[in-house]
Chains A and B, each alone.
Chain A
């Protein structure tokens, strides 16, 4: 494929992701849906409950007069419901109502004050920004050539943006867990990009084409094993922390596949062609 086209398509996807995020901002006032950890509020999780969410919400409204959002989840490990209570409402009332309805179920409760959310958001942004800068410095130190390094950094950035856009589409909320997953993404994304960049720039005995396809093979094996491991996590666990981390990483890895093997490869091929043309 023409290297220029290889660069264009991933950039278009990146652009669409940006548009989705901005559209979300225009519609809801935030770039990505924030979970209760950032907004404040409470969530009561009931494992093993198999009643329609609407019914639960209705009877809680009747009993306590509090509006709650109820959501169903399921996995191999079991299913259940999560009941969300907004920050100002009395969680204990809701919990008692739930206990009356399901006396045998042990609830798991998380209550978060609104100012705590503020702190989590601040810390999250700080952690991501610093991690990004740290990553960029490490990449530059390892390669010492500006264009390939910048491409690696950009594709990590694009992975994150696309993952956030997919979070918006699939309704996954920003929480401490997903912030961690986005950070983890930096590591994974750099992994494959470094592999490709090293192989292409340091190859001596092969042509660019040969090196590219051999790296692609390796990269494909890498991504499939990681995806396999993450998918089994996602399937077997009903703990929200783990589910969220797994799904965001899966989004990011899919984005990374494109950004590494199409975008970064395109840029590197142009770069190498130019460099070799000069020599």
Chain B
């Protein structure tokens, strides 16, 4: 009888409905954890001055391009407000983390190279026009202006060499030795990188940047060490890790890059070298006359979104040698994945302990299991629904978010106690309480709840609005928890309590 009255209530049905959705969401989508739990690095980068959204987008793309050459997986670059960018990478080793930091700290270095000779660097790119489509040549084009010196240098170099390749590099691995697998080596020597020129890519980068390329076939680590003498570092491309260990033991700085599943060997080489191109020298540029107004064109139909994106990237790369603003690292948080695992367990234990403690205290106060169980059940549902919503919208649960959930549970229990006490009423005057009395008491309880919920939401909204860092998570889950409380769980608890407590009379 009692159960029927509880279960058939509209508010209880709403609660059950949300519980089911949450369980489904948790089961199918799962929770995503923040870097402070799953492990990883978060780097807060400050721009020298506030910028407009367009510049911010440029900074974002430029950072993405430069960091991508490192070959670290899943780099997320998130603009925050008008002056901050947060770079987040999950599951990185300390070494990778260091590389990321170094790359961001260094200003991007841009080189334009022809026949192994660097003819322009970032400061020679004076102006980059916007990406547009040229229907006449059916190509996406990026116009830019070169400095006079660079233009003259190029004109001399390129005289009579139409069809030869021009390469652009952003942060190439200057002064290093690359140990590459056979397929990578073959690709580097292929026509794709040579076009109609007479120098292979391997020759060009050695001449321009002192990058030595060694195919990894029938060579011992000692032989590689001999070749790599004088190089700043050794980079292994598509080569397994045993070699890395051997070389590290000999005191070399070694980095390993491997091919991603979404790229072919050519893309892999370009990414590892920070190479954009090669671009074919057009007839008009091979006449020996310097021209400062040049453009890079990517032949493709107008509908080709990929080509347009490539052009966009090129325009950012051209600009990045002289990014519109200076970047500085303001904050680095590094957490090893193992440590995060530990935190996750602790938080779980703390959460369960908190729930039990709350249940116990409620029981001690009222001496009625009939009150303690619904209070615990309601709080538990609240956690479940908050987590369910977090799973649905893919909110990253970080430590502050979890603290927020626990804070919300704290206020939640408070409010349930207000309801319970209003319902129980004062012992001595219980006889006077009639049906209308119960309703009025419930009204008063909900007035108190609404007033305190509103203040919490107002206070937390400011935190959410004004903070750059991770504490937005705290504000978010607190607000979410309070909303779930006043709209879903608290009304249901009121109904359950009305039946369970009211029934005694």
Contact = CB atoms under 8 A, between A and B. Distances in A.
A179 B459 contact: no
A115 B123 CA distance: 29
Given A120-B469, A221-B362, A241-B400, A236 B350 contact: yes
9 A-B pairs with the lowest CB-CB distances in the bound complex, closest first? A187-B456, A106-B336, A236-B350, A116-B330, A131-B459, A134-B458, A232-B353, A228-B357, A111-B332
Contact of B463 (A120, A183, A188, A217): A183
A239 B455 contact: no
B448 A186 contact: no
A231 B357 contact: yes
A217 B424 CA distance: 12
A235 B406 CA distance: 14
A131 B342 CA distance: 34
A116 B44 contact: yes
Contact of B406 (A120, A194, A229): A229
A51 B335 CA distance: 21
A140 B274 CA distance: 61
A119 B333 CA distance: 17
B26 interface: no
A14 B343 CA distance: 37
Contact of B339 (A108, A113, A116, A242): A108
A177 B362 CA distance: 29
A233 B361 contact: no
Interface in A170-226: 176-177, 179-180, 183-184, 186-188, 190-192, 194-195, 198-199, 202, 205-206, 210, 214, 217-218, 220-222, 224-226
A180 B354 contact: no
Contact of B403 (A210, A222, A242): A242
A210 B469 contact: no
A77 interface: yes
B455 A232 contact: no
B459 A135 contact: yes
A115, A190, A192, A210, most chain B CB atoms within 10 A: A190
20 contacts: A110-B334, A119-B330, A131-B458, A137-B458, A142-B454, A176-B471, A184-B407, A184-B478, A186-B456, A186-B459, A218-B417, A221-B421, A222-B417, A225-B362, A228-B361, A229-B410, A235-B350, A241-B36, A242-B347, A249-B410
A241 B456 contact: no
Interface string B183-212: 000000000000000000000000000000
Interface string B353-392: 1110110111001000000000000000000000000000
Contact of A237 (B44, B346, B358): B346
Contacts of B343: 237-239
A47 interface: yes
Interface in A112-129: 112-113, 115-116, 119-120, 123, 126-127
B74 interface: no
A65 interface: no
A187 B407 CA distance: 10
B444 A198 contact: yes
Given A131-B458, A205-B429, A222-B418, A241 B403 contact: yes
A204 B444 CA distance: 12
Contacts of A110: 331-334
B462 A106 contact: no
Contacts of A147: none
A108 B334 contact: yes
Contacts of A138: 451, 454-455, 458
Interface string B233-271: 000000000000000000000000000000000000000
A188 B410 contact: yes
Contacts of A116: 44, 46, 330-331
B149 interface: no
A214 B332 CA distance: 51
Interface residues of B, number: 74
B502 interface: no
What does DSSP make chain A's interface, helix, strand, loop or mixed?
Answer: helix
A245 interface: yes
Contacts of B468: 119-120, 123
Contact of B347 (A78, A183, A220, A237): A237
A222 B400 contact: no
Nearest to A131: B459
Contact of B336 (A108, A126, A237, A246): A108
A47 B341 CA distance: 12
A183 B458 CA distance: 10
A115 B459 contact: no
A243 to B, nearest CB: 10
A232 B350 contact: yes
Contacts of A130: 462, 466
B451 A194 contact: yes
A188 B407 CA distance: 9
Contact of A180 (B338, B410, B471): B471
